[in-house]
Structure 1
Amino acid sequence: MKIGIIVGTRPEIIKMAPVIRECQKRNIPFFIIHSNQHYSKEMDSIFFEELHLPAPHYNLGVGSGLHGNQTGNFLIKMEPILLEEKPDVVLVQGDTNTVLAGALAASKLNIKVGHIEAGLRSYDRSMPEETNRIMTDHISEYLFAVGPNQEKILKGEGIANNKIHTVGNTVSDSLFQHLEISAQKSKILTHLNLTAGEYFLVTAHRASNVDVSSNLMELLHLLDEMHKNYTGTIVWPIHPRTQSKLKEFNIELPDYLQLIAPVGYLDFIQLQKHAKLILTDSGGIQEEACLLGIPSLTLRENTERPEAVEVGASELVGRDAVKAVKAAKQWLSRDDYSWENPFGDGHVAKYILDVIVKDLTKKDMEQ
């Protein structure tokens, strides 16, 4: 048995880390292909080092670009690797162009595809990620759904029941495995002169928020209003994409925003864990905030992670400053809050490999 693991971005590395470790624990042969969709040290290689993961066996070096160009380049570079390695299964995680290209390359070579985080839907086809999710699900042999919402969606789209496995999300494994280590090792709060529980944390990188000048200005107006109502520090680890758009649109940011470069995973866990409130357009951070018990405002009109909203951990505010201030007021007026964790028990990678090993062993015995 051999497993191909394909990653391309920071969240994929973090969420695949438990799967890589589980392969190592079981002595299952595997190889890692990194598309380098995130191609700066701060956005990818630091995570392999911090999480003590083996370096990728293959770096494709594709970087950014238009969707068709980027996806096509991934396909061109992945195909010969898969032909040479001949894995039994290729695992992809999430909804990026890397994920779609990896699934397509494997599927066309009759290699089984396992999609981790299958069944997520925002029902917003203007998001390129939505197309990637749908297409990847429909060419996968193993669909690893987070929970009952995703299982229902997949069945509703006509995918066979025996392909769907509801396992939770590997984000729970990664977070629980690294929470204590990050508390011991990270000095980020001291380094940034932050007091636990007295700052807001912001992340924003989605095309819908930062690629259009007027939308980015709306987002900054929302932050202005938050600052007027809540005078604490607002920390913003700024994504390279957002940074380049601010420069392109010649937008100067106000002094109250504490801009920092992207940080490593251990530091970012601590930034989330000790924030008063998180404002984000990232799906993964909605999950992590929920698991850490920190309320979040989702800077989008929709989400493919409705569980965080359903359990009361997050609220959709889009770029609406009035909504955001109102939601923050409700959160901050409460002395305490808690919710049920809908994202997994920290053993999701084990369940995923149990499914694959059992299925491949059964097929071997039948042949």
Structure 2
Amino acid sequence: MTEVAFVLGTESEAVRLAPVIRACERRGVDHAVIHTGEHGAETLERSVFDGFDVPSPDIALDVGSGPHGRQTGTMLAAIERALAETDPAVAVVHGDRNSALAGAVAASKMRPKVAHVEAGLRSFDRSAPAETNRVIADHVADYLFATTEKARWYLVREGVTELRITVTGSTAVDALERVRDRSRPEREVLDEFGLRAGGFLLVDVRRRGNADDPGRFRAVLDGAARAGSAHGLEVVRPVRPRARERSGEVVPDGPAPVRTVEPRRYAAFVRLLSASAAVVTDSSCVQEEACILGTPCVTVQNATERSETTEVGANRLGARDPDGVCRSVTEALESDGEWENPYGTVGAAERVLGALPVDAERGEIVR
């Protein structure tokens, strides 16, 4: 009988749950990994699982992409079957993707307790599907693991019982620490792409509405190119194979070229993020990672669920027009770069597992 089932389907989920999976292995807690296929299994295998020494998923559902309703509905049915097969005491989900929503809802209707890692994030933008996903996952969860006190406060304000909430910090801190200790040195990654530490501006724009809108995408890249030219920085756009297939290549009519590189592993992307002078992004995870790594960030979104990053001065919510992006990048580069990481210290994964009712001697969840 499986004690813990991890339901995941995207790179960000795999990266942030990998430390918890490894904590289960260290403690001898029997577990299973259910991969929904929200992002391709081959992509995660190459980019994440290998790098974190996490075994391949035990169950691959191969749901694939599609409209939200169809994808989520297909996941629900498939996850139900997987949970019936593994019979876990606890089903663990992470974040706000459709895999987290489907995993939380499926488990809540069955025997397992639901644990939501990264609970309590709020952008208050209800037009964003991710906001709906994270709110629902929080309110069906039995164990809620918040990254910060602010996230805990949001949950309490929404009526979640305080006994169900544990502030653990972010498992991203654990993941980034492992990248630092175990992956290729930064110098090797920079040499591979012909880059110099602090000599380039990273542009990682991937969300629908930005990456899939040619006009908006071009405007963001043009603003980044202007900022790069003004500050003597090369502008680098890391593109994963999946993103290249989705959005194609767009190069702005700017005063400086935007160079595309392909870091095929998550660890290589982290090295680029750490070594960049600043990053322009619309990714929630990159905002958090940049804050932890000490890289100034400009977010080309009107709202963010990572408001702690703006409060400590690590992140700026920037306009998506060229002038606004250029101005925000300049402000980020001119900041002192000194802020306190709001996402806690190494050990979040152990704190997550420690908050579950694990029988230490038997390595079992108390049911």
Quote the residue 2:352 is aligned against: 352
Match of 2:170 in 1: 169
Q: In structure 2, how many angstroms separate the alpha carbons of the residues matched to 1:245 and 1:253? A: 18
- Alignment match, 1:342: 342
- 2:359, 2:365 within 8 Å by CA — same for their partners in 1? no
C-alpha separation in 2, matches of 1:200 and 1:98: 32
| Partner of residue 200, structure 1 | 201
Residues 331-352 of structure 1 show CA distances to partners (whole Å, capped at 9, x for unaligned) of 3335x43111111211111111
Distance in 1 (CA, whole Å) between partners of 2:186 and 2:325 is: 33
Q: Does the residue aligned with 2:357 lie in a helix, a strand or coil?
A: helix
- AA at the equivalent of 2:338: S
- Given that 1:186 and 1:267 are in contact with CA atoms closer than 8 Å, whether structure 2 keeps it comes out as no
Equivalent residue of 1:327, what SS?
Answer: helix
RMSD: 2.4
How many angstroms apart in 2 are the aligned matches of 1:25 and 1:244?
Answer: 38
Does the 8 A contact of 1:95 with 1:130 survive in 2? yes
Q: Distance in 2 between matches of 1:186 and 1:92?
A: 35
Distance, in Å, in 2 between the alignment partners of 1:61 and 1:82 is 15
Match of 1:279 in 2: 280
Q: In the alignment, what sits opposite 1:124? A: 125
Identity score, percent: 35
Where does residue 220 of structure 2 map in the other structure? 219
Q: Is the 8 A contact 1:39 1:63 kept in 2?
A: yes
Which residue of structure 1 aligns with residue 154 of structure 2?
Answer: 153
Distance in 2 (CA, whole Å) between partners of 1:347 and 1:366 is 22
CA deviation map 1:293-338 (0-9, x unaligned): 111111111100111111111111041333332232233335x431
Contact preservation (8 Å) 1:205, 1:239:
no
Structure 2: runs of 5 or more not aligned: none
Shift of 1:360: 11
Q: Measure, in 1, the Cα distance between the counterparts of 2:113 and 2:329.
A: 45
Aligned-partner SS, 2:7? strand
* Partner amino acid, structure 1, of 2:346: G
Counterpart amino acid of residue 170 in structure 2: N
Separation in 2 of the partners of 1:204 and 1:365? 40
Deviations 1:13-46 (A, max 9, x none): 1101110110000000000001121116445543
Within 5 Å, give how 1:16-27 maps onto structure 2: 16-27=17-28
What is the distance in 1 between the residues matched to 2:79 and 2:333?
48
Query: Does the aligned pair in 2 maintain the 1:10–1:44 contact within 8 Å?
Result: no
Moved more, 255-264 or 203-212: 255-264
Structure 2 residue matching 1:63: 3-state secondary structure: coil
For residue 238 of structure 2, what is the amino acid of its counterpart? P
**1:29 maps to amino acid:** D
Give the number of equivalent residue pairs: 362
Letter of the 1:132 counterpart: N
Is 1:110 aligned to 2:111, yes or no?
A: yes
TM-score normalised to structure 2 length: 0.91
Unaligned residue ranges in structure 1 (runs of 5+): none
Change (3 A) 1:356 1:37: same
Evaluate the alpha carbon distance shift between residue 67 and residue 263 of structure 1 in structure 2; reply closer, same or farther with a 3 A threshold.
same
SS in 1 for 2:326: helix
**TM-score (norm: length of structure 1):** 0.91
How far apart, CA to CA, are the structure 2 residues paired with 1:186 and 1:227?
22
